[in-house]
Structure 1
């Protein structure tokens, strides 16, 4: 690990994680033993090694010292931290690209992985009303690129629960909404995603507080992502993950079954279409 740097074009975070695993094992340390002087769990080290966590510069410097890595991790930390996504979402976006399964609840808008281009454009324009067209174009391009995850016919498993408000809130125009909901229906009918709707009639439910995303991986501990306005937090504490998993399970139990959810989505899409052409 002398002086060679990582190639930033070759998934830097994954490469940095792989190098961390090699260096740790060469030093004869377990993940928990490396985590102890950093005041993080062994699971956190596992996530760094799997590429599901970003290595921040302060950790990189300490790891260099502990593993006698001659500054390798500090030098390459910057390349691994580069992202085309906003800072508060970058870690979650990069983790979802490695996930085996994603389960999420969306209370207000269609989740990014499931948006159409016109819907995404309307969302970003609402978020940034004074942004240039070039800025909006870049945001939309990056969001559409994320959806390439769904081109694989089976992985990741994506299970989404939408609040009925997502269907009823007109984003862009009625035609944009009709097309967006038909896109959801097509993904569900092709069995690419599991889709449920929690209706207004369900009343209070376990996730009234906001969006929730659970991600599980083949070679790293599961993560929970919670999001607010321009803020986001990845959580890996096992007790927290277990509690949020139970919360999601209760949510799905309160939601319409997939077949009834699909019927509702297509019915609302027809309403938008009818009103658009009336």
Structure 2
């Protein structure tokens, strides 16, 4: 493990996220346990396998400890499970607020419809595609922030393995399937993943060919979710804005547009054939 404080066993913390209070409390508890054990940060870091600088940042609430860090600290400090028990609190606070909010809605959905015209839909991305996608963002994310965001997106995909899983319908622009984010091999594996997940009975993937002359989605990407309680909500993310849409009239418009987009795109079966063709050309 690294001892220079750059190890990936923690994440950078957004100071404007309300989860900061939870992270700060965990940091204080760790500091109290360390001091009660008579260890300074350097000695504690040596036993943990991390640098004193990282220990300092975690204790003051500037970094979010990973679950394995808390397990190790519990062992080193002889906390008998009291430190490890804080993993549950960390789990709720580890992801950015907007990601937690979106993940919560997706977990309550029985049907999710997503039209994506810039990148592969988040719920269908491979981990390396996601990492490459965050890698080209500007201004650039730090390595820790990139890992935090990648982990958050991958975690959202757990709903696809739920029983019963929500029905996920996705419309992808042809251009997205041809854009080599991360390089050709990353794209190839992403296309192969789409072909694999597209065989699932709970996932329908459609392609919007560039050559179509009628397109109801020119206003941009959108997401429509039907929740267990019968309500329908929309979600839109563009540039620096991530917005939940609950106003009935606006949701109705998004729902109508998404229905038209699906009708204008290739059928799911024809779309998988199209993706195979693109894969063969990549």
Q: TM-score scaled by structure 2? A: 0.64
Structure 2 residues not aligned, in runs of 5+: 1-21, 23-88
Match of 2:266 among 256, 259, 266: 256
Q: CA deviation at 1:104?
A: 0.7
Q: Is 2:207 the partner of 1:197?
A: yes
Q: CA deviation at 1:129?
A: 6.1
Q: Structure 1 CA distance, aligned partners of 2:116 and 2:130?
A: 15
Tell me if the contact between 1:160 and 1:194 (Cα under 8 Å) persists in the aligned partners: yes
Match of 2:239 among 229, 242, 248: 229
Tell me if the contact between 2:95 and 2:148 (Cα under 8 Å) persists in the aligned partners: no
Match of 1:160 among 170, 182, 193: 170
Aligned ranges 1:237-248 → 2 under 5 Å: 237-248=247-258
Tell me if the contact between 2:234 and 2:254 (Cα under 8 Å) persists in the aligned partners: yes
Which structure would you say has the larger Rg? 2
CA-to-aligned-CA distance 1:8-49 (integer Å, 9 cap, x gap): 9xxxxxxxxxxxxxxxxxxxxxxxxxxxxxxxxxxxxxxxxx
Give the 3 Å change call, closer, same or farther, for CA 90–231 of structure 1 in structure 2: farther
Q: CA RMSD in A?
A: 2.0
Q: CA deviation at 1:204?
A: 4.1
Q: CA deviation at 1:123?
A: 0.5
Q: Structure 1 CA distance, aligned partners of 2:174 and 2:241?
A: 24
**What is the total number of aligned residue pairs between the two structures?**
193
Q: TM-score scaled by structure 1? A: 0.65
Tell me if the contact between 1:85 and 1:93 (Cα under 8 Å) persists in the aligned partners: no
